[in-house]
Structure formats: structure tokens, C-alpha cells
Amino acid sequence: MKFETPAGTNPIDAMKVIGQAVDRVDGKLKTTGQAPYAYEHSEIPAKPAFGYVIGAGIAKGRIASFNAEEARRMPGVLAIVSAKNAQPLGKGSMNTAKLLGGPNVDHYHQALAVVVAESFEQARSAANAVRITYDRAQGRFDLVAQKPGAQPLTGNDADTHTGDFEGAFASAPVQVDQTYTTPDQNHAMMEPFATIAWWEGDALSVWTSNQMIAWNKRELAKTFQMPPDKVHVRSPFIGGGFGGKLFLRADAVMAALGAKACGRPVKIAMPRPLMLNNATHRPATIQRIRLGSTRDGKLTAIGHESWSGDLPGGGPETATQQTRLLYAAANRLTALRLAELDLPEANAMRAPGEAPGLMALEIAIDEMAEKLAMDPVKFRVLNDTQVDPEHPQRPFSQRNLVRCLEDGAARFGWSRRSARPAQMREGRWLIGMGVAAGFRNNINMTSAARVRLAGDGTVTVETDMTDIGTGSYTIIAQTAAEMMGLPLEKVRVKLGDSSFPVSAGSGGQWGANSSTSGVYAACAKLRDLAAQSLGMDPASVQFADGEVRAGNRSAPLADAAKSGELVAEETMQWGDLGRKFQQSTFGAHFVEVAVDFYTGETRVRRMLAVCAAGRILNPKTARSQVIGAMTMGVGGALMEELAVDKRFGFFVNHDLAGYEVPVHADIPHQDVVFLDEEDDKVSPMKAKGVGELGLCGVGAAVANAVYNATGVRVRDYPITLDKYLADLPEPV
């Protein structure tokens, strides 16, 4: 099925199951411990051995010597695999560095070997007995130092120019020209990278924790230089990913190498200190933003330049992408620059691009509003656009940013905010409010599903879509139930298996809308089969209350499969509506903070997100996504930062004791509002993604609230008290 024209009325519009705040269908499994995660599976052909990965002790250089003789003699040791004795490996297209290093070392904690033993403790003990010496090379670990040599990009990441930015900015009567920085950050998901791998002849099977099953299968095949049909990947439950598990990582490769070496299944779970340096992270950025405005508040020039770094062959943090679409201005410039660094690999972390980009842009917008003596909400509303600013002939499919801002302001009590900073006080606390726009592009991904109708009237959905804690099981079940006219309990959902049809996978805010569209397409085909089986006209039947109805005739849906199971498989593909209409999601974030006069301690007191993201498939699971994203935004604003040792090239705080993330005590009540809307130009579901939108803009809303409370502007994240304590107003 191909989505080529705006969606008309269809079975999803009944909204009997879709759109309802349904509890998670997998909730009981998770809360009772019955949902097996990657490290916990027992459906394997033999007793597993345990692997322990040895990470590089330098960031750049070569292995001078590798001595594992003592380790090999230790109790329980079955195999030690390194580049010296491993089979020749290829390299997947989606990882920048090799997942097995040696003799060259590309980054700190790059996997150099795996020790396999009968127990985890024996493997760990033997790994500590392996002696490696290095010839250390000079590395590049400081983005600021490498910034002058950063290079422009080509293709989709090339510089953009509209109008005469330089001329318009120079002549603008009101200007903002500021630089903002965001630090390296990590996903810090609860479940570690974990895999159980085994070989049956020349076929490889893995239980793993990965967001994108088809990508993982393809990359494993490339790495082991084998046919993809010889690789079986399963990942039915995932304990968080946030982009860190989009790609094949070293746990899967090292488990597979260890399993081949010892002839048994091998299970690996990465220790937390290895995770933060071995796997991917969000890279630091340096962002310069220039805004030019008329005195009455109309933006005439918008310029956004961003610098980030990655290993050679890597890519940039695309922090300018929202700036191309969020506000109107005739003269525009965006530019990305990429520096080569020898830090661990930089790659996607939740809402890559927009999340760090909005942390800078939405402070700059507030700074301009202050210069103009305009309310920040009104300034944003004044500069709204209903068309792509770079291509004015291309409208947005739907854009309700103004309503998000105005409805949010009314609900939050924005009128009580003091326009002059550091004026609202409660005892020893300075009180401030901040706002920021939220923006995240909509992405559609080809997605397929298989649906089966059994003789008892149950429908089973099979797709390799994953559930990373976001509610995929539930919204897919709701989609099938709505399409087939069944109660939710009559639908079974099977996910995360590469033997199932290839779906969108979980990432980029594309998962929900794309995967349910694939299920919609498969169910549309199953409806036709069921109608034909019952001798009814597929064009005129209705499916409701477990029955199939046409005119005066009706029959139980189960009767359609009396002669045998009906099976339908279909793929949802996309036409060119995404080129004709700019498809995006919008939001407004409001935050109230309190800052202690004496200590500088910042406490977030209230948060509100108003989201416009098409039809909301399940308000309960969508709200969970958004409040989780808002929490991550508080972390990015106030505490999250990978501390780089610029002498030796590693992240010092590589565990959850040193890498601080928000806990329950840091987060107040969070209010989430979804605008009632449907976007018929996006999909037959008329939905868009929402999870990452909940993060985009939150950091800036917190930063703007801290400024409103204290009168001290901090442009370098995270906004820790050492950056403003000395400049706080005197207590009164």
C-alpha cells in the first residue's frame, strides 16, 4: 500500500479503541517480572557461558603487547578472543569506529578482546589478568581547540542561504549575536547493552537489546561477512535506548565472537563504566546565533552556525535543522562545521539536532524579545510562519505553534510572570518563569506487518517493530483492534523478531505513526480476505463488535477463518506528500523555577508541555513519553555533562554515580496537553510522533526561567550554580 493522497475517512476514524487512554498491554508482564530482557532469555540451545569485554586503556595509539597467558590458565576460562585470533571482520555502515579494535586503537574503551568463562565472575577475573601495553599517540580531545580546523559539510548537511543574511543582519536596528555551548551527554538508559549469541552451523542467532532489528541484522551480516538470511535477531523487550541502541554495538559482536570460539551460547552485559565510553553519545556543540529584527519585533535575519566533533568518518550534530523552519525571516543562514576528534563515537541521542539546537536558539529568541521589550510569547507568535521559510510555496501540512503558545500561556498563568528579572521572591527563593517553543520534524519510514485471523476470532500481529518502553505493543494492538472491529483482548502482538516483516523500528520519533500505518495496511488486506471468505463485498463491509456486516447480513469475524487461518502481509510505503507539505510537530514548554538566594540551588517547581502532533493514538502512553522527555530536558539543562579528560581523551564520569541525571525528587508535577488535531497529509493514522517533541525546547525553557529568576544569563549548559552564584542579587 502506498500513501499518496491525503487520508479520507477510514476505519481508524471510529476512534473506539484508537485515541483511548488504554493501559499498556504488556504492563503486567513488566510489573511482574515476566517480560524477559536480552540478558534473561532461556530459549537457547545450550547452557550459556559468560563474556567480559576488555576496553582500550588509551584513546589513541596502538597495542604494543597483548599477553593473555595467565588469564587462559585461570579457572573456568573457555576462550579469549582479540584481533590477533578473531576471524576477519568487516565493518558495518552505521558505526564509525570498528567494534573490535586492534592493533590500532580509535577511542578509549574501544573493545579489544572478550574473555569467555563458565561464570561472570571468572570471566571478569581473567579479563583483569590480561596484560596490554600501548604505544600512545597524540589525540584530539578538545572541541574548542579543534574548532578553527572544523570543516563544512556537503549533501543534506551543507550550508543554507536564503536572501542576503549578512546584509540584512548588518542593517537590522536590533541585533542579537551570541554563542552558546552544550556539553557531551549520554543516554544513560537503565538496561545495559546486552546480548546472548550462539551459532548453529554457519547461522548466527542473537537475543539483544536493539531498537532497529533490520538494521542490526544487516550490520551483523556485514561485520561477519555472511548472508543476512543466516542472521536471526530478536529483541522483544528493551529497557530504554534513546538512540544509543539504534546501531549494532560491541556487545553483540563480542558475544558472537566468543560463542564461535567456545562452541556455546555466550551472554554479555556491558558494565556501566564501559558503556559510556565504548558506545555512542551526544556530542558537544558550540553554536553562534545571530538575529536581526525591526523595532516592532519582526525578524529580518536569522543565522545559526554550529560546531561539533566526531571520529574521522563520523557526522555532525545537526543543531541548525529546526532553525530552518521554526520562525519567519526573509534572510537566513545555517552552517554546520565538523571537527575530527578522538573521543568515543558521537551519534544519535534522543531528538538529535533539535534538542541541542533549541537549547541555543530559544535562549537567543528570549534575548531578542528582551531587547525589544516584548513579551517572549508574543514575540514568538509575531514571527510564526505557515509556510517553509526557505521555500514559501511549500506550506506546512499542519502547524499549530501559535495555539500551543497561547493556550499554554493561559493555562500556566504566564501573565503573572515579571518581565523584569529577579523581581519575584518567596522568602529565600528567587522565582522565575521561562518559555520555549518545541519543534521536531515528522519522519515516515517504510513499515510492514503480518496479521493472522484464527478460527477463535483472535488476531495476531507480527512485525519486527520494537518497544523501548514507549508503548509500541499497546498502540499496535489498538490499531489492529480498531481495524478489525475487535476488543483489545482479542488481539495478540508479537514484536522484535527479524523473522517478522520489517517495520520502521524505534527511533527519530518515527516509530509509532509508521509502524501502526504498516499494521493498518496489513489489516486492510485482512479485511478484504475476511469479507471474501464470508461472501461479502469488501468495499461495503463494516467490522464492529467482533462481527462483519454488509447490508442486512452479519457474521462473526471468527467464521471467516473456519476453513483455516487467514494471513495477510502488507507494507506501507510513502508517496511525495512529504515533499509537497512540510510535516512537523510543534509544542510550547513552560517552566517555573526557584533559585536559592544564598546557595544558588535551582529547583524546578512546575512544568507544562502543550503539544500539537496530529492524532494522539493513546493519550496515556503518549503522556508517559512526554513527561519522560521533559525529565530528560531538565537533566540537560541543569546537570547532565560528560566530563572530558582533555589529556587522555576519555569521559571521566562514566557511571551513574558521576553522570548525574534527574531523580524523582528533582521533578515536580508535570502537566501535558495534547491539542485535538488530525493531520490527513501524514498517514492513514493521521498521527505524528510525539516522544521527542517532549524534549525539544525544555532545556531553553529552564534556562530562560533561571534568567527570569536571577537576572543572570548563562549560555553554557548545564546551568550549574557555579556559573551564576557570584552574580546573584543581594538577599533582602
Q: So which residues are the catalytic ones?
A: 692
| Chain centre distance of CA 429 | 35
Angle at 681 between CA 680 and CA 682, to 5 degrees: 95
| Chain centre distance of CA 239 | 14
CA-to-CA distance for 144 and 525, rounded, in angstroms? 56
CA-to-CA distance for 697 and 609, rounded, in angstroms? 10
Angle at 439 between CA 474 and CA 277, to 5 degrees: 75
CA-to-CA distance for 730 and 96, rounded, in angstroms? 51
3-state secondary structure 381-440: HHCCCCEECCEEEEEECCCCHHHHHHHHHHHHCHHHCCCCCCCEEECCEEEEEEEEEEEE
Question: Looking at the chain, how many residues does it have?
Answer: 732
First and final C-alpha spacing in the chain:
68
Strands 49-55 and 266-269: parallel
Nearest-Å Rg of the Cα atoms of the chain is: 27
CA-to-CA distance for 126 and 54, rounded, in angstroms? 10
| Partner residues linked to 494 by β-bridges | 462
Distances (CA, A) of 464 to 2, 204, 515, 519, 571: 20, 17, 9, 11, 12
Q: Is residue 374 within 8 Å of 297, Cβ to Cβ? A: yes
* Distant-in-sequence, close-in-space partners of 692: CB < 8 Å, separation ≥ 6: 350, 351, 354, 355, 440, 508, 509, 629
| Partner residues linked to 285 by β-bridges | 182, 308
CA-to-CA distance for 379 and 383, rounded, in angstroms? 7
Strands 459-462 and 491-494: parallel
| Partner residues linked to 337 by β-bridges | 152, 307
Q: Which three cell numbers stand for residue 494?
A: 508479537
Which amino acid, 661? V
Q: Which three cell numbers stand for residue 115?
A: 574473555
Q: What is the DSSP letter of 12?
A: G
**H/E element, 604:** strand 602-612
